[in-house]
Structure 1
Amino acid sequence: MPWDLAAAVHFQVNQRAAGNGSLMRASTSAVHFAPAGREATMDAARRIAALTHGDRAAWEGTAIFHELARVTFENTDPLTALPDILALVHPDHRDRYAVVLAPDWHPDEATEFNGAVWPCLGSAVWALRTTTSFEDALRAAIDLGGDTDTVAAATGGLAGAYYGLDAIPAHWTQPLHVPLPGFDGQMLDLADLLDLAHRLGG
């Protein structure tokens, strides 16, 4: 099936397609589309999420993530921008996200496992809101348990945009060695990844 039809059929059959995987991969697309402005970055997020997630809840969560990153790159506090961002969320999903992104929400109050997109995003924003460094935000996200890889990936994307590269501990970045698929053992180190990031941002 074409990708869009496959995602839609999966959702129709299973009624479960609001997983947080669309957030796990959203940092790179958020960087790429940020210069295009609010409407373009949120639209791109929805379209990219729809590649694999037929539930609009995943599209809206990814759109919120993109916009949080974009405003942060413009030196706007993403937490104070949340009410304006929520106003742009599809009405069918706005209330769900308003709950988990509220200033007084705690991940212990989640009514679903953080493998779902809205408690995952809520947990990432909570980790950013309740800590004062990149490292502490990541530790807080991981300590929540559950689907820690994706919650930490979303938190890392937001905290990275907020605190910047210099805030990431060197003992985390120096050992980086990412295999490049299809290139016979070639590894990407920090310098290679930074080059990719600069090219991604245009």
Structure 2
Amino acid sequence: MDPQRAAGAIVGSAVGDALGGPFEFGPQGAFSARFPTPGAGDEMCGGGGWDPGEATDDTQMAVLVAESLLERRGLDLPDIFARFQRWAASDPKDIDLHTEDVLTNGMPWDLAAAIHFQVNQRAAGNGSLMRASTSAVHFAAAGQQATMDAARRIAALTHGDRAAWEGTAIFHELIRVTFEDINPLTALPDILALIHPDHRSRYDTVLSPDWHPDQATEFNGAVWPCLGSSVWALRTTGSFEDAIRGRVLYLPDLLQLAHRLGEGPSMRGG
């Protein structure tokens, strides 16, 4: 795997996170209203409790996943969950309420998300998808089945709804085929065929060429429109800058992690 492309996937995700973080809970169109002309202002502006260029809880959790994969030399689910728990207990600037509930409900790593879902019947947020850049890069070299399986298992640590697992698995596979120089958009039909039948049609809708984010039927924090909007941006823009409207930051710690993850996975299991 080209380490520069691995770094681009991970650092690019963090840059987009830092760009959008200050606008996460604002009204629709707030970013475009503030910066109507691309590149005309300091778009990496910070706000909402975030410093300019500071990535949010999504990237913080992605780093925790990366550190576990590297230090444990493979997928160690209890270790990832324990890292999540320690992070949640450290009073982070922001943490999704759903994720906080799962990580602090006192249940073991393999039951916490499932029990939360049984009680609340709501666990299809985009949290597991938003933190998936590091694991997607790490498992890409292991092949289709391994990367999609890893995506589902890591997602299930905090999200009991299989919809979140499947969306994360799609993202993992999109990253994998891109590293193989396959157009991810042309690969989508084959990827969707691998999705659990109970969830395939919903993803088929939001990932279709004629879907637009304005057609979303769920709130923007749900996994379906989150993934759908990302693929829509991929279809309708021609560059990284156009897609996220941001300026590239140099993130040395994250860049070092990205290069190490790009060296390939160790499939020790867990």
TM-score normalised per structure 2: 0.57
Q: Distance in 2 between matches of 1:21 and 1:135?
A: 24
2:143 maps to what in 1? 37
1:52 maps to what in 2? 158
Q: Distance in 1 between matches of 2:213 and 2:110?
A: 32
Aligned to 1:134, which of 222, 240, 246? 240
How is 1:53-132 mapped onto 2 (pairs within 5 angstroms)?
53-132=159-238
Q: Distance in 2 between matches of 1:200 and 1:16?
A: 32
1:172 maps to what in 2? 248
1:147 maps to what in 2? none
Q: Distance in 2 between matches of 1:40 and 1:200?
A: 15
Higher RCO (CA < 8 A, seq sep 6+): 2
Please state how far the C-alpha of 1:193 moved relative to its aligned partner. Answer: 2.6
Please state how far the C-alpha of 1:194 moved relative to its aligned partner. Answer: 2.2
Q: Distance in 2 between matches of 1:4 and 1:115?
A: 24
* 1:92 maps to amino acid: D
1:6 aligns with 2:148: no
Please state how far the C-alpha of 1:45 moved relative to its aligned partner. Answer: 0.1
Show CA shifts across 1:71-103 (max 9, x none): 001100000000000000000000000000000
Extract unaligned runs of 5+ from structure 1: 140-168, 175-188
Please state how far the C-alpha of 1:122 moved relative to its aligned partner. Answer: 0.2
Show CA shifts across 1:9-57 (max 9, x none): 1111111001000011100000000000000000000000000000000
1:199 maps to what in 2? 260
* 2:192 maps to amino acid: L
Aligned to 1:21, which of 127, 140, 143? 127
* 1:115 maps to amino acid: G
Please state how far the C-alpha of 1:6 moved relative to its aligned partner. Answer: 1.1
Q: Distance in 2 between matches of 1:19 and 1:90?
A: 18
Extract unaligned runs of 5+ from structure 2: 1-106, 264-270
Matched positions, count: 157
Show CA shifts across 1:123-142 (max 9, x none): 01001110000011113xxx
Q: Distance in 1 between matches of 2:128 and 2:141?
A: 20
Task: Give the ranges of 4+ consecutive aligned residues of structure 1 lying more than 3 Å apart after TM superposition.
Answer: none
**Identity between Structure 1 and Structure 2 (%):** 83
Q: Distance in 2 between matches of 1:193 and 1:23?
A: 18
Using the TM superposition, name which of 101-110 and 4-13 deviates more. 4-13
Q: Which has the higher helix share?
A: 1
* 2:213 maps to amino acid: P
Q: Distance in 2 between matches of 1:199 and 1:61?
A: 25
* 1:91 maps to amino acid: P
TM-score normalised per structure 1: 0.75
